[in-house]
Amino acid sequence: MASREAKGETVLVTGASGFFGSTLVRGLLDRGYTVRAGVLNPDDRAETDHLLALAAGAGEGRLSIFRCDLLDGAALADAARGCSGVFHLASPCTVDPVKDHLNQLMVPAVEGTRNVLRAAKAAGGVRRVVVTSSISAIVPSPGWPAGEVRDERCWTDIDYCEKNGVWYPASKTLAEKAAWKFAEENGLDVVVVNPGTVLGPMIPPTINASMAMFRRLLEGCTEEYADFFMGPVHVEDVALAHILVFENPSASGRHICVESICHWSDFAAKVAEIYPNYKVPKLPKDTQPGLVRAEVGSKKLIALGLQVSPMEKIIRDAVESLKSRGFIS
C-alpha cells in the first residue's frame, strides 16, 4: 500500500543487499518509494541480482544501485544527494570471534556511521536518518538494576565488552553513540531501531549471521550466546519498524524491536516444540545472566502501529526459508 508520504520520495538504503536490507528495499518499493540501494560492490551480481529482481515488479526507474563503501565519503555523498531519507543498515555483523576487531568491526561500524551521517547532512534535503542499531547496544549490561526489565534507557557496558573480548556489541554501541553525538552537534534528525535476532524469509542468495545462528541451533549447537541475545524478531517486522519511525514525525530516540524479551533457552525450547525432528539441544533455563523476561519488548514501536509477529511464525518462516534454499534438509 502506497502511503501519502512516499509519493515521489527517494531514499537511500546502505547495506541494501543483505538479509534485512533486501527486505527493507522490498517494503519501501511496495510503499511507493524510489530506492537507491547502496551496496559494497555494484559489479558483484551476488549483491545486486536479487535487488534487481525486486525492482522488476515495481516499475521503471524505481530502484538504482549505488556503490556505498562506508569508508568512502565521496561515494556516500553521491548516493545521498537528492534523497529525502537515509536508512543506514550497513555494518559488519558477527557473533564469532574476530582476529582484528578494530579493522573488522570497530572502524567500519563507527567511522562508517559518521560518514553516512555526514553525507546525509551534506545532501541538504534529507529530513530524517534511520540508523539500524541493535539490542547489542543494550546488552551485555551487567550493571542494569537487578529485576528490572531492560528498555531503551539501557546501554551496553563497553568496559565489560573490552575486558571479555566481546567486540560486536562494542562496535554497535559506539556506532550508535557516535550517531547521537553527530545528530546533536549538526542538527540532523536521527531515529534509531534496535532489533533483536532477526529471522525469517531470506531474499539474498547467501546466509547471514543471524540465520546461521539459527541453523546451528537446528543442527544441535549448544552455544548459549550469553552476551548476544535478548529476543528474536521477524525480518519483515524490522523492515516495517524502520518505515514507521521514518514516516512518523512523533517517533524519536531508540526503539527496541523484539517479539519478546526472552532467553536463548526459551527460544530454543519453542523451536524444539514446533520441530521435534531437529537436533535442538536442551539448554539451561537462564542462558542470558540477569536478563528479565518480558512478553512485550517493543512498546514504542507497537505505539506507532507495529503488529509484532508471534514467535511461532518467526520460527516457521525461518525454517521454511532455510529448507527452500537447501541450507537444511
Encode pLDDT of 108-134 as tens digits. Answer: 788 899 999 999 999 999 999 999 999
| DSSP character at residue 10 | E
Question: 191: Cβ–Cβ under 8 A, 6 or more apart, which residues?
Answer: 128, 129, 130, 131, 245, 246, 251, 252, 253, 255
pLDDT, average across residues 240-267: 98
Q: C-alpha angle 105/111/113, rounded to 5°?
A: 95
Q: What is the pLDDT of residues 80-103, one digit of tens each?
A: 999 999 999 977 666 566 677 766
pLDDT, average across residues 156-169: 92
Q: Would you say residue 105 has pLDDT above 80?
A: no
Q: What is the pLDDT of residues 195-207, one digit of tens each?
A: 999 999 999 999 9
Choosing from 7, 99, 163, 172, the catalytic residue is: 172
Q: What is the pLDDT of residues 7-60, one digit of tens each?
A: 579 999 999 999 999 999 999 999 999 999 999 999 999 899 999 999 887 777
Q: Would you say residue 300 has pLDDT above 90?
A: yes
Q: Would you say residue 321 has pLDDT above 60?
A: yes
What is 7-198+232-260+296-308's CATH superfamily?
A: NAD(P)-binding Rossmann-like Domain (3.40.50.720)
Alpha helices, DSSP H, located in the chain: 19-30, 45-56, 73-80, 101, 107-123, 158-164, 167-186, 209-218, 235-247, 264-274, 299-303, 311-324
Q: What is the pLDDT of residues 217-226, one digit of tens each?
A: 999 999 999 9
Q: State the Cα–Cα distance between residues 283 and 266, nearest whole angstrom.
A: 9
Q: What was the pLDDT predicted at 93?
A: 65
Q: Domain segments of the chain: what residues?
A: 7-198+232-260+296-308
Q: Would you say residue 2 has pLDDT above 50?
A: no
Q: Would you say residue 319 has pLDDT above 90?
A: yes
Beta strands 128-132; 232-234: pairing state: unpaired
Q: State the Cα–Cα distance between residues 192 and 242, nearest whole angstrom.
A: 8
Q: State the Cα–Cα distance between residues 156 and 142, nearest whole angstrom.
A: 8
Compute CA distances 1 → 31, 237, 239, 269, whole Å.
Answer: 5, 16, 14, 36
Q: State the Cα–Cα distance between residues 2 and 15, nearest whole angstrom.
A: 23
Q: What was the pLDDT predicted at 96?
A: 60
Q: State the Cα–Cα distance between residues 138 and 289, nearest whole angstrom.
A: 14
Task: Tell me the helices (H) and strands (E) count for the chain, helix number first.
Answer: 12, 9
Q: Would you say residue 310 has pLDDT above 80?
A: yes
Q: What was the pLDDT predicted at 60?
A: 75
Q: What was the pLDDT predicted at 61?
A: 84
Percentage of the chain lying above the pLDDT 90 cut: 85
Sign of CA dihedral 173, 179, 183, 189: negative
User: Which burial class, exposed, middle or buried, applies to 326 when counting CB atoms under 10 A from its CB (0-12, 13-18, 19+)?
Assistant: exposed
pLDDT, average across residues 171-182: 95
Q: What is the pLDDT of residues 254-288, one digit of tens each?
A: 999 999 999 999 999 999 999 999 999 999 999 99
Q: What was the pLDDT predicted at 103?
A: 64
Q: Is 323 a catalytic residue?
A: no
